[in-house]
């Protein structure tokens, strides 16, 4: 091998190494990190759980900051409303995200109020490529049978993992929101303000 | 003449009336099934989300919701208060066990011999060691339930779910699932086991319905009474569950509108939340 060829090969090897080292993969996170994120999110929730009183307004107010931190509200809201997001004004978007956050807080408060046992089991973690990770867990409550919850997590633009969906008994929260919002838009001839008002009135805002 | 037999034997007699009724039901169901199977593709919604029957579905859903609010939900609530959890589980196990032979037949029709074998084993185990199905001993032995039905068999054969359909009192279904359910119910050998007839049969069916409602008390309340649009919530929940049972697991595509996600607004809006995700994040 001539010195020139050796130099070229060396340059290629260094370039390849650098490329691999700094390649911007989707996997800012691994399946292990996704599972660890869900576990820590669950543990954080368990610290809040004893403060839940069963009063919808109070519990929702308590859970709202937690969900703002752990959930990927931008994506959830955008997916729920679909392409109508394009036509929405910044004010409408902000109100809509607030309404979705409220819906989620109340859903959590109602569904998780009796889950206070720390028993938690990681069933499996699935890497769904660019669609994020699916972390399947089993959670226990005092009264009911254990439930299997699938957490879908995805990194945001900053690379922080966030929850975008929960699936319980085969029912995805995200798909349900999308279906409900779509039906409401259809009933209201695409009037997003009417939809937001409907959701706000539903959650008693 | 009213029969009040409470025997539990596969060789029991059936009343002529009952046979005629079931025969009629089966023929109606078979006709409906044929209708569903031969429906042109245009009738079947491409992904089950289209709702051409909403004009009739919504009023029926409204009626069902009222029936639930004023009859089934209160009954289920009282039932939960007066019966201990183990008893409710036993009732659920018993009715679940009766469905196993039909489930096994459906697994065979779907070409899944392993699931069929497990279902038969489960049925035999629970019927004998589990005191006629009252106890789910099989699960403790690791023989898990493999629920299926004729609707899922049709799905396995490539029959589309067709449009969403709401049945009075029976609730959500589809053009494929409703006749399949009727056919399966008419052909169910468990109905030949004369546990009870006449009022007794009605009482058992009522117990099954109330026990089922009580078992899913919170989740049904959530969907029916706490959603932004209960009709849409029930429809989407039902279709999702059925797709999943049919093995058609699909992740909602978060990147469906790729161009939009990548436009400049994304970076500007990312993190700008209604109460301070950014601020929360910066505290970390």
What is the DSSP annotation of B213-242? HHHTHHHHHHHHHSSSSHHHHHHHHHHHHH
- Distance between B36 CA and the closest CA of chain A, angstroms: 25
Answer yes or no: do B252 and A168 touch at CB < 8 A: no
Residues of B in contact with A144 (CB under 8 A): 218
Instruction: Give residue-wise pLDDT tens across range B258-279.
Output: 555 555 455 445 544 433 333 3
Q: Nearest Cβ partner of B280 from A69, A170, A176?
A: A69
Residue found by looking up tokens 């959650």 in the block: A203
The pLDDT assigned to B195 comes to 59
Q: Assess A39–B contact: CB distance below 8 Å, yes or no.
A: no
From chain B, pick out residues whose CB is under 8 angstroms from the CB of A98.
274-275
Q: Is the pLDDT of residue B163 over 90?
A: yes
Q: Tell whether the torsion through CA atoms of B91, B93, B96 and B98 is positive or negative.
A: negative
* Residue of A66, A92, A171 best to disrupt the B interface, most CBs of B under 10 A: A171
Percent of residues, chain A, with pLDDT higher than 90 = 20
| Better-predicted residue by pLDDT, B249 or B147 | B147
Per-residue pLDDT for A158 more than 90?
Answer: no
Min Cα separation A100/chain B (Å)? 10
Checking if the pLDDT of A7 tops 70, the result is no
- Could you give the CA distance from residue B159 to residue B68 in angstroms, rounded to a whole number? 31
Angstrom distance (rounded) from CA A184 to CA B7: 52
Q: How far is A131 from chain B (nearest CA, A)?
A: 7
DSSP string, B142-180: T-------HHHHHHHTT----SEEEETTTEEEETTHHHH
- Cross-chain residue pair B222–A180, CB shorter than 8 Å: no
Answer yes or no: are the C-beta atoms of A69 and B243 closer than 8 Å.
no
pLDDT at A117: 67
The overall average pLDDT reported for chain B is 74
Q: Are A203 and A106 in contact (CB under 8 A)?
A: yes
Count CB atoms within 10 A of the CB of residue B267: 10
Percent of chain A exceeding pLDDT 70 equals 81
Residues in A closer than 8 angstroms to B280, CB to CB, are 65, 68-69
Are A174 and A82 in contact by the 8 Å Cβ rule? The answer is no
> Which DSSP helix (H) or strand (E) runs through A148?
strand A147-155
CB B106 within 8 A of CB B114: no
Instruction: List all residues of chain A from 54 to 113 with a beta carbon under 8 Å from chain B.
Output: 64-65, 68-69, 73-75, 79, 82-83, 85-86, 93-95, 97-98, 101, 103, 106-107, 110-111
The minimum CA-CA distance between A19 and chain B, rounded to whole Å, is 23
Cβ-Cβ contacts under 8 Å between A and B: the total is: 116
| Angstroms from A202 CA to nearest CA on chain B | 6
Q: Give the span between the Cα atoms of B276 and B280, in whole angstroms.
A: 6
Q: Is A153 helix (H, G, I), strand (E, B) or coil?
A: strand
pTM score of the predicted model? 0.74
| CA B82 to the chain's CA centroid | 25
Put simply, the chain A residues between 140 and 199 with a CB less than 8 A from any chain B CB are 143-144, 152, 154, 156-158, 160, 164-165, 168-172, 174-176, 178-184, 187, 198-199
Q: How far apart are CA B9 and CA B7, in angstroms?
A: 6
Q: Which strand (E) or helix (H) includes residue A165? A: strand A161-168
Q: What letters, b where the CB count within 10 A reaches 16 and e where it falls short, cover A63-76?
A: bbbbbbbbbbbbbb
Q: For residue B258, give both structure tokens.
A: 């790729």
Tell me which residue of B41, B51, B21 sits closest to B159, measured CA to CA. Answer: B41
Question: Which residues from B are below 8 Å from A178, CB to CB?
Answer: 236, 252
| Rounded Cα distance, B65 and B94, in Å | 28
CB-based contacts of B240: which residues, under 8 Å, 6+ apart? A170, A171, A172, A175, A176
CB contact under 8 A, A68 and B277: yes
Instruction: At B278, give phi and psi (nearest 5°).
Output: -60, -45
Residue B182: half-sphere exposure toward Cβ, Cα within 13 Å: 23
Residue B181: C-alpha distances to residues A104, A114, B24, B284 (Å): 34, 35, 15, 54
Residue from the list B218, B219, B236 with its beta carbon closest to the beta carbon of A179: B236
Q: Which of A79, A169, A180 sits opposite B228 (nearest CB)?
A: A180
pLDDT at B67: 94
Least reliable range by pLDDT among A129-143, B11-25, B92-106, B147-161: B11-25
What is the average per-residue pLDDT within A185-197? 89
Q: What is the pLDDT of residue B215?
A: 84
Q: Given an 8 Å threshold on Cβ–Cβ distance, is A171 in contact with B228? A: no
pLDDT of residue B261: 52
Residue with tokens 């955008």, as numbered in its chain? A78
CB contact under 8 A, A98 and B255: no
Residue B67 CA to residue B222 CA, distance in Å, equals: 16
Contact B26, B186 (CB under 8 A): yes
Helix (H, G, I), strand (E, B) or coil at B183: helix
Average pLDDT over every residue of B22-31:
43
Predicted confidence (pLDDT) at residue A138 exceeds the cutoff of 60: yes
Q: How many CA atoms, within 13 angstroms, populate the side-chain half-sphere of residue B83?
A: 19
Q: Across the interface, do B232 and A86 touch by the CB < 8 Å criterion?
A: no
Residues of A in contact with B152 (CB under 8 A): none
- Residue A180: closest CA among B232, B50, B239, B219: B232
Q: Which of the residue ranges A107-111, B4-8, B57-61, B272-276 has the most confident prediction, judged by mean pLDDT?
A: B57-61
CA atoms within 13 A on the CB side of B115: 18
- For residue range B98-138, list pLDDT tens digits in order: 888 889 999 999 999 999 999 999 999 989 888 888 888 88
Q: How far apart are CA A4 and CA A8, in angstroms?
A: 6
pLDDT of residue A135: 94
Is pLDDT at B164 greater than 90 in this prediction?
yes
Residue A65 is inside which H or E element, if any?
helix A56-70
What residues of chain B lie within 8 A of the CB of A64, using their CB?
A: 275
Q: What is the pLDDT of residue A151?
A: 92
Q: Which two tokens stand for residue A41?
A: 């999110």
Q: What is the pLDDT of residues B60-96, one digit of tens each?
A: 999 999 999 999 999 999 999 999 888 988 888 888 8
Reported as a single tens digit per residue, the pLDDT across A50-86 is: 888 878 788 888 888 999 889 998 889 999 988 888 8
Tokens of A6: 């050796």
pLDDT level of residue A134 (50, 70, 90 thresholds): very high
What's the complex ipTM? 0.74
What is the percentage of chain B residues whose pLDDT exceeds 90?
26
């Amino acid at each position: 091998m001539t010195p020139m060829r050796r130099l070229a090969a060396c340059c290629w090897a260094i370039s390849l190494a650098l490329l691999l080292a700094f390649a911007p993969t989707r996997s800012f996170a691994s399946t292990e990190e996704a599972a660890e994120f869900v576990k820590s999110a669950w543990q954080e929730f368990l610290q809040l759980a004893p403060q839940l009183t069963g009063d919808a307004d109070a519990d929702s107010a308590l859970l709202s900051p937690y969900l703002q931190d752990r959930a990927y509200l931008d994506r959830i809201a955008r997916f729920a409303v679909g392409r109508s997001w394009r036509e929405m004004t910044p004010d409408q978007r902000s109100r809509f995200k607030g309404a979705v956050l409220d819906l989620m807080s109340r859903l959590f408060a109602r569904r998780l109020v009796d889950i206070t046992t720390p028993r938690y089991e990681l069933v499996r973690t699935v890497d769904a490529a660019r669609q994020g990770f699916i972390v399947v867990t089993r959670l226990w409550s005092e009264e009911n049978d254990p439930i299997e919850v699938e957490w879908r997590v995805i990194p945001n633009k900053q690379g922080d993992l966030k929850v975008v969906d929960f699936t319980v008994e085969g029912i995805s929260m995200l798909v349900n929101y999308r279906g409900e919002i779509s039906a409401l838009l259809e009933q209201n001839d695409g009037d997003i303000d009417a939809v937001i008002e409907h959701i706000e009135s539903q959650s008693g805002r | 003449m009213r029969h009040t037999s409470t025997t539990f034997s596969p060789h029991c007699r059936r009343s002529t009336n009952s046979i005629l009724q079931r025969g009629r039901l089966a023929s109606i169901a078979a006709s409906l099934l044929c209708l569903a199977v031969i429906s042109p593709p245009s009738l079947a919604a491409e992904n089950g989300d289209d709702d051409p029957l909403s004009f009739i579905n919504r009023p029926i859903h409204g009626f069902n919701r009222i029936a639930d609010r004023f009859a089934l939900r209160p009954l289920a609530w009282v039932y939960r208060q007066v019966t201990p959890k183990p008893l409710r589980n036993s009732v659920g196990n018993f009715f679940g066990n009766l469905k196993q032979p039909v489930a096994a037949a459906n697994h065979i029709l779907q070409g899944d011999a392993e699931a069929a074998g497990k279902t038969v084993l489960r049925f035999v185990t629970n019927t004998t060691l589990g005191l006629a199905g009252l106890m789910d001993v099989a699960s403790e032995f690791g023989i898990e339930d493999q629920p299926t039905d004729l609707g899922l068999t049709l799905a396995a054969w490539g029959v589309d779910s067709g449009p969403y359909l709401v049945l009075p009192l029976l609730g959500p279904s589809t053009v494929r699932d409703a006749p399949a359910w009727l056919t399966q119910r008419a052909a169910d050998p468990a109905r030949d086991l004369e546990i009870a007839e006449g009022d007794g049969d009605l009482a058992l069916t009522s117990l099954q319905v109330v026990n089922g409602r009580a078992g899913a008390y919170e989740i049904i309340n959530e969907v029916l009474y706490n959603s932004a649009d209960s009709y849409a919530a029930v429809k989407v929940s039902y279709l999702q569950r059925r797709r999943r049972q049919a093995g058609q697991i699909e992740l909602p595509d978060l990147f469906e509108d790729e161009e939009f996600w990548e436009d400049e607004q994304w970076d500007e809006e990312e993190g700008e939340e209604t109460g301070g995700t950014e601020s929360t994040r910066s505290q970390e």
